Amino acid sequence: MLNELKERVKNLVKTNTEPPRLTMRVCMLGARGVGKTSVITSLYNSQKAAVAGTQLFLVADGDTQAILENKKNLLMGMFTGLHDEGDLVTESGLPGDSGESLFQFTYGMNTERINIDLEIRDYPGEYLRSEADTVAAYIREADAVIVAIDTPCLMEADGRYHAGKNRPELVTDFLREHLASDGEKLVLLVPLKCEKYYREGRIDEVTKRVEAEYAGLISHLKGLRDDETGKRSVCCVIAPIQTLGSVVFESFQTGPDGAVEEISTKDGLPLPAKINYRYAAANAAYEPKYCEQPLFYLLAFVSMQYRQAQEQKNAGGILNKLREALRLIPHIDDFMLEIALLGHRRLDSAQGYKVLCGRGRIGG
């Protein structure tokens, strides 16, 4: 973000017309069918509601608006017609894309010509092998990395299908290699499809399981420190989400003998052939919960970077360059205040949320 910002500042000085635009970049990793696109769809709609009553607005750019409107209609279509509590759901979300997906948004300020661009790139899990250089390059540029986790595969059947679905070892090894200490990052471990565990009062069990299964990655992130300040350069948070709100995990499909019907990955890891979900209430509605939380954390992270750049007047290196660039943007203080206020809406220690390291990167 800093290098691009410096270039935009140079252009501002030359032309003295449009202010530079900051860009927040988010890299989303996770298996196909885990629910990433469903969450991005809900994230956008919940964020539009979240900025109501503030000085900010949020719009989808380019093709993103049409794509997300179509996907929202597909999700809401799962709840049309009559159904009873316990009825099985035909689909539990949107079909996963086989390739990279790009979603582009803009946060703007109603009273001023100032914007922050938000870019989310969604990579399917197999890209960590087949397109490793592409993903690694984007992670280096990104402000945040979201690791999407299929919660039923994490929690059910003693976690038998977690390795095949979520690939924790692959994700851990990849981020160990490509997350360095030369830039600040926000890493969000996001269990999806958590409806069952919230309803059963077991969401803290999900959090503990994530800590256990990703212990190697978490340990690595805790050890990353800024070369200049010696402070942690990464903030890592567990942020569970209810992807649809009224659809809960029911069971892994079983055969006539009562055993779970399985398939295997190319490297021989077991996966359930089919996962059954059910409606949690009669005539349930599309009611996702907490999908906006990853962005609240990102906004808190960005606003804290800005505050540190402003407060540390004698800081060198990146903070000093950031402060010098930002001071050329008109009304940046007002804009960042609005961003910070949204960031304060994040959940912290409640609802299964847990800051694992780098709390200072998002404020108290």
Q: DSSP for 104-173?
A: EEEEEETTSS-EEEEEEEEEETTHHHHTHHHHHHHHHH-SEEEEEEEHHHHHGGGGTTHHHHH-HHHHHH
Q: What is the pLDDT of residue 21?
A: 66
Tell me: pLDDT of 2 over 80.
Answer: no
pLDDT confidence band for 319 (50 / 70 / 90)? very low
pLDDT confidence band for 324 (50 / 70 / 90)? low
pLDDT, tens digit, 9 for 90 and up, residues 304-317 = 887 777 776 555 44
Q: Are strands 101-109 and 247-252 parallel, antiparallel or unpaired?
A: unpaired
Exposed, middle or buried: residue 210 (CB in 10 Å: 0-12, 13-18, 19+)? buried
Q: Tell me which residue of 352, 328, 242, 339 sits closest to 291, measured CA to CA.
A: 242
The residue with greater pLDDT, 164 or 226, is 164
As a whole-number percent, the residues of the chain with pLDDT over 70 amount to 84
* One-letter amino acid for residue 121 of the chain: R
Q: What is the mean pLDDT of the chain?
A: 84
Burial 289-309 (b: 16+ CB within 10 A, else e): bbbbbbbbbbbbbbbbbbebb
Q: What is the average per-residue pLDDT within 226-243?
A: 82
User: Cβ distance 260 to 272 under 8 Å?
Assistant: yes
pLDDT, tens digit, 9 for 90 and up, residues 8-24 = 444 544 444 455 567 88
Tell me: pLDDT of 155 over 70.
Answer: yes
361 DSSP assignment: G
Tell me: pLDDT of 230 over 70.
Answer: no
What's the pTM? 0.89
Tell me: pLDDT of 321 over 80.
Answer: no
Does domain 19-300+332-359 bear CATH number 3.40.50.300? yes
Name the residue ranges covered by the structural domains of the chain.
Answer: 19-300+332-359
The residue with greater pLDDT, 67 or 3, is 67
Q: Which of 31-35, 69-73, 165-169 has the highest mean pLDDT?
A: 165-169
pLDDT confidence band for 6 (50 / 70 / 90)? very low
H helix intervals, the chain: 2-15, 36-50, 64-77, 127-130, 132-141, 151-155, 162-166, 168-178, 195-199, 203-213, 215-223, 293-311, 317-326, 332-343
pLDDT, tens digit, 9 for 90 and up, residues 79-111 = 888 889 999 987 655 565 667 899 999 988 877
262 DSSP assignment: E
